[in-house]
Structure 1
Amino acid sequence: MKLLIATRNKDKIIEIREILKDLDLEIISAFDIPGMPDVIEDRDTIKGNAIKKAEECAALSGLLTLADDTGLFVDALDGAPGVYAARYAGENCSYKDNRDKMLKEMNGKDNRVAQFRTVVAFASPTGIITTAEGKVDGEITTKEIGTGGFGYDAIFKAVETGKTFGEMTQTEKEKISHRGRAFRNILPKVLEYISS
């Protein structure tokens, strides 16, 4: 049985495939579906975007689909960039552009508390089945630390480890990351649906 991961983000695909590696399913991405359009993320919440992507991709592909959306919520920035984390520095910006903007915005701020949140939505071709969330608390560093990961990983220090995601191995990150937690939280629901 195939399970579609509704993303074209190569970094996310690698991370999600690793999280789901023990499933007895063929994990495919939006790259594997010819003609699969990009879903416009125009909802004002990460849950709304995840649901929209899951529903649209499941309906178009005819496959069971998992879709996620992630936000970075920074206290000193009144929750920004939030749902706009991927395009914080503007449309078509790079990961580095986003990190640079964040470091500039946080320059001189004492309160560096932040939280990553991911919502994963699970849909069949007939509609949404369920959602799950994962969170990790941390802080924004004053400079980039570490070269691993992607996105904001080099400037987000997790409270649980005292290390940035950029300093962690993929295995270390998976254990505590927002995305890893969200996907682990939804797995029992996916397996229950498939076995019913």
Structure 2
Amino acid sequence: MKILLASSNQGKLAEFRQLLDGFEMVPWPTDAPSLPETGAFFQDNALQKAEGARAWWLEHGLEPVDGVLADDSGLCVDALWGGPGVLSARFAPDLASYRDKNHRLLAMVPDGADRSARFVCVLAYAPLQGEPFTASGTVEGSLAFAHRGDGGFGYDPIFIPDGFDQTFGELPAETKHTLSHRARACAALRERFRLGVNP
């Protein structure tokens, strides 16, 4: 099964290739347009991207695929009223590196505040013909007090999953891939396929 990944994020592409082994992942072309992300919820954005990518690929795609997969995910921090949430990818646009973005986000959390947080991932799968559907995953945890580790990408080095003392940036990839929000969403997606959703 060949799936077009509607994302130019190389970190996500690498993770999906590991989490959805057995599926051939086709990367979003570098000359393809940006995809819309104007929804108020992760599900809205994932569906927007999947449907937008499918429409573009049907007109411009250079190889056959079975469907299109889009992901919208983010970090939701209780002390920041759930932010950055759906704006995670667009948080602190004036800063180029995620290390700097992570420092800024941590600085926004008031001293003594609840550091509970969660990663949320919603996947939208759009077959070339038929209705798209979604699968989701969440992992609970807390914010570290500093950027720790160089593994993963994005906010991984400041998120400590429940039951661990290390951040996703410090944990081995094989451990992260058993419990991350993206791993859980991929497991739910596989289950949809197993139950007979025609990919």
Q: Could you tell me the TM-score, scaled by structure 2's length?
A: 0.88
Aligned to 2:6: 6
Computed over aligned residues only, the root mean square deviation of the Cα atoms, in angstroms, reads 1.9
User: 55, 66, 73: which one pairs with 1:59?
Assistant: 55
Report the residue type matching 1:112 in the other structure.
Answer: R
Instruction: String of CA shifts for 1:105-141, please: whole Å, max 9, x gaps.
Output: 0251331000110000010234542101100001111
Per-residue deviation at 1:92? 6.7
| Paired residues for 1:74-153 under 5 Å | 74-90=77-93, 93-126=96-129, 128-153=131-156
Per-residue deviation at 1:147? 1.6
Q: SS of the residue aligned with 1:73?
A: strand
Uncovered stretches (5+) of structure 2, i.e. residues with no partner? 59-64
Residues 75-84 or 90-99, more deviating: 90-99
Aligned to 2:28: 30
User: Following the alignment from structure 1 to structure 2, what is the Cα–Cα distance between the partners of residues 137 and 124?
Assistant: 31
Q: Residue 106 of structure 2 contacts residue 146 of structure 2 at CA under 8 Å; is this kept in 1?
A: yes
Q: Residue 103 of structure 2 contacts residue 146 of structure 2 at CA under 8 Å; is this kept in 1?
A: no
Say whether 1:164 aligns with 2:167: yes
Count of aligned positions: 191
User: Following the alignment from structure 1 to structure 2, what is the Cα–Cα distance between the partners of residues 181 and 74?
Assistant: 19
Q: SS of the residue aligned with 1:184?
A: helix
Report the residue type matching 2:128 in the other structure.
Answer: P
Instruction: String of CA shifts for 1:5-44, please: whole Å, max 9, x gaps.
Output: 11110011001111011x2x3211103xx74311021111
Distance change (3 Å), C-alpha of 1:145 and 1:107:
farther
Q: Could you tell me the TM-score, scaled by structure 1's length?
A: 0.89
Say whether 1:45 aligns with 2:41: yes
Runs of 4+ residues deviating >4 angstroms: none
User: Following the alignment from structure 2 to structure 1, what is the Cα–Cα distance between the partners of residues 133 and 6?
Assistant: 15
